[in-house]
């Protein structure tokens, strides 16, 4: 274990499947899939060859939703969604999601050493989506060297904050807490 780190046990994440005061996880997943299939809407997103672009959408049941463009070779970096659960779907191109199959403590730490076997990776080609629970930590990447990707994301409740992390091998470090209007 690295100095100054705490061991982290492996634990499966659970996600709400029923209405939680606003919109259920299956409803969010259905929304992002249907929206990603709307070719006219997807075509409205301006694409920048240098950086990600985004447009706010009206999500169902008071959720927060986004249409996001990913130039080749871009990604989010490791982050969580501040306790919101959500879903996303690829509308164009292909995205890779790397995630942790463990629930992190939300407070009281700066550095954690992750147990072996917590890493997950999935590729989401056009038309594929996924839902995730309120303690989900991941990064999303467009690994293509040539093609933009476009995706639709929805969160409930609307994002109260995002925690950004850095990672070196098994060591995850909390770097920054961002509030609405601060993330890009």
Q: Which helix (H) or strand (E) holds 31?
A: helix 25-36
* Total domain count, the chain: 1
Residues facing residue 134 across a β-bridge: none
How buried is 13 (Cβ within 10 angstroms: 0-12 exposed, 13-18 middle, 19+ buried)?
A: middle
Question: Looking at the domain assignment, is residue 184 inside a domain?
Answer: no
Query: d(Cα 21, Cα 157) in Å, to the nearest integer?
Result: 9
3-state SS, residue 181: coil
Residue 99 inside a domain? The answer is yes
Residue 116 falls within a domain, yes or no?
yes
- Return the sign of the alpha-carbon dihedral for residues 103, 179, 88, 65: positive
Determine which of 1-10, 17-26, 45-54, 172-181 has the lowest per-residue pLDDT on average: 1-10
Tokens (6 digits) for 137: 């930590």
User: Would residue 125 count as lying in a domain?
Assistant: yes
Q: What percentage of the chain carries pLDDT values higher than 90?
A: 82
Q: Once rounded to an integer, what is the mean pLDDT over residues 120-129?
A: 97
Query: Where residue 182 falls among pLDDT bands split at 50, 70, 90?
Result: confident
Per the prediction, the chain carries an average pLDDT of: 89
Let me know the angle formed at the C-alpha of 16 by 95 and 74, rounded to the nearest 5 degrees.
Answer: 15
What is the spatial distance between Cα 155 and Cα 184, in angstroms, rounded to a whole number? 16
What CATH number is given to the structural domain containing 38?
A: 2.60.120.10
Residue 183 inside a domain? The answer is no
Asked whether residue 96 is domain-assigned, the answer is yes
Q: Which two tokens stand for residue 107?
A: 């407070």
Q: Is the pLDDT assigned to residue 2 strictly greater than 60?
A: no
Parent domain of 156: 6-178
Distance CA 97, CA 167 (A): 15
Query: In this structure, is residue 101 part of a structural domain?
Result: yes
Where residue 21 falls among pLDDT bands split at 50, 70, 90? Answer: low
Q: State how far the Cα of 86 lies from the Cα of 132, in Å rounded to an integer.
A: 5
Structure confidence at residue 184 (pLDDT): 54
Q: Is residue 1 part of a domain?
A: no
């Amino acid at each position: 274990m690295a100095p100054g780190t705490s061991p982290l046990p492996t634990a499966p994440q659970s996600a709400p499947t029923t209405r939680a005061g606003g919109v259920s996880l299956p409803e969010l997943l259905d929304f992002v899939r249907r929206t990603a299939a709307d070719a006219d809407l997807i075509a409205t997103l301006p694409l920048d060859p240098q950086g990600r672009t985004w447009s706010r959408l009206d999500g169902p049941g008071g959720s927060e939703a986004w249409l996001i463009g990913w130039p080749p070779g871009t990604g989010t970096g490791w982050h969580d969604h501040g306790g919101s659960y959500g879903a996303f779907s690829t509308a164009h191109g292909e995205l890779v999601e790397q995630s942790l199959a463990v629930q992190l403590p939300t407070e009281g730490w700066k550095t954690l050493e992750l147990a072996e076997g917590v890493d997950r990776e999935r590729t989401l080609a056009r038309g594929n989506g996924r839902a995730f629970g309120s303690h989900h930590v991941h990064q999303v990447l467009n690994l293509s060297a040539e093609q933009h990707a476009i995706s639709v994301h929805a969160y409930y409740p609307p994002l109260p904050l995002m925690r950004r992390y850095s990672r070196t091998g098994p060591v995850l470090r909390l770097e920054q807490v961002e509030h609405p209007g601060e993330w890009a």
